[in-house]
A and B are shown apart, each in its own frame.
Chain A
Amino acid sequence: MRYAILLLGAPYSHQASHSALRFAHALIARGHALQAVFFYHDGVHNAARLAAPPQDERHLTDEWIALHAEHGTSLEVCIAAALRRGLVDEREAVRHGKSGHSLEAPFELTGLGQLIDLGQRCDRLITFAP
């Protein structure tokens, strides 16, 4: 089946990101395809390029990137939720006159329409929330 995940919880503040990652690997192990993870609400913080957790903790941002590299899962970040919270890619940084960017590929800024599209295209959409 084609799965998508909607992630609403910020990393480390809540268990949502850990739960979503565990579920992601489990569904892939059962032979399903994870088309996309859509990061919305505080979930956009999962895409923080500058996150530097202690070495004895999981690096959630890197784990999402690894999921993309190994399984082709797209990492889609709601642009409206991200910009409000200071998560900008290079293009948006230039557009808003910022000196640096805080989000980079393979995370991609996208609109909420993409979430609606995933809901239509995928067989299952599972929400992980704070």
Chain B
Amino acid sequence: MTAHASSDLLVILRHGPHGSSLLRDGLDAALVAAAFGQRVSLLFMGEGVMALVDDQQTDPLGPKGTAATLTMLTMYDIETILVEEAALEHIGLAPSDLMLPVCLMSGKALSALPASHRLVLTF
């Protein structure tokens, strides 16, 4: 918990890749905030955990994906990558199915997140 206590911005990503642009738009906001020197936490919630699924193929005829961006998060100094544990279980995925090491969140630790960030944006 200490790693993401009192950070500047919490971006909650609740949409999967490709189906809509909300995931991309949320990620873009997070990257810009990080580039501006803010401490950013990303929380993948609900269907948003689909963004992290490993082995996403590039589809030249589909919308531009987000997988490449996600692999570069540490370059932007975004190291707090949180995942709603229940969402992962609901879909039947394990952390080993994900492309990044993540921190699983549930219960009080999860519900305490909005209060510990100066700004919360949901996408």
Query: How far, in angstroms, from A119 to B33 measured CA to CA in the complex?
Result: 10
Q: Which residues of B contact A129 (CB under 8 A)?
A: 122
How far apart are the CA atoms of A129 and B33 in the complex, in Å?
20
Docked complex: A108-128 residues within 8 A CB-CB of B: 111-113, 115-117, 119-120, 125, 127
Q: Contact between B32 and A127 (Cβ–Cβ < 8 Å)? A: no
Q: Classify the secondary structure of B's interface with A.
A: mixed
Question: Is B28 touching A119 in the complex (CB atoms < 8 A)?
Answer: no
How far, in angstroms, from A79 to B35 measured CA to CA in the complex? 17
| Cβ contacts under 8 Å, A81 to chain B | 25
Report, as a range, how many residues of chain B touch the other chain. 10 to 19
Inter-chain contact A115/B21, CB cutoff 8 Å: no
Render A88-125 as a binary contact track against B, CB cut-off 8 A, 1 for contact: 00000000000000000000000111011101100001
Q: Are A6 and B32 in contact (CB under 8 A)?
A: no
Decide: A116 and B36 in contact? CB cutoff 8 A.
yes
Question: Could you tell me if B121 and A113 are in contact, using CB atoms closer than 8 angstroms?
Answer: no
Q: How far is the CA of A80 from the CA of B22 in the complex (A)?
A: 13
Whether A41 pairs with B22 at a CB distance below 8 angstroms is yes
Query: Contacts of A120 on B, CB cut-off 8 Å?
Result: 8, 118-119
Q: Give which listed residue, A6, A80, A111, contacts B121 with CB less than 8 A.
A: A6
Residue numbers in B under 8 Å from A3 (CB-CB): none
Chain A residues within an 8 Å CB radius of B22 = 41
Binding site for B on A (CB under 8 A): 6, 8, 40-41, 80-81, 111-113, 115-117, 119-120, 125, 127, 129
* Apart from A40-B29, A115-B32, A116-B33: 10 A-B pairs, beta carbons within 8 A: A80-B28, A112-B28, A112-B32, A113-B35, A113-B36, A117-B36, A120-B118, A120-B119, A127-B122, A129-B122
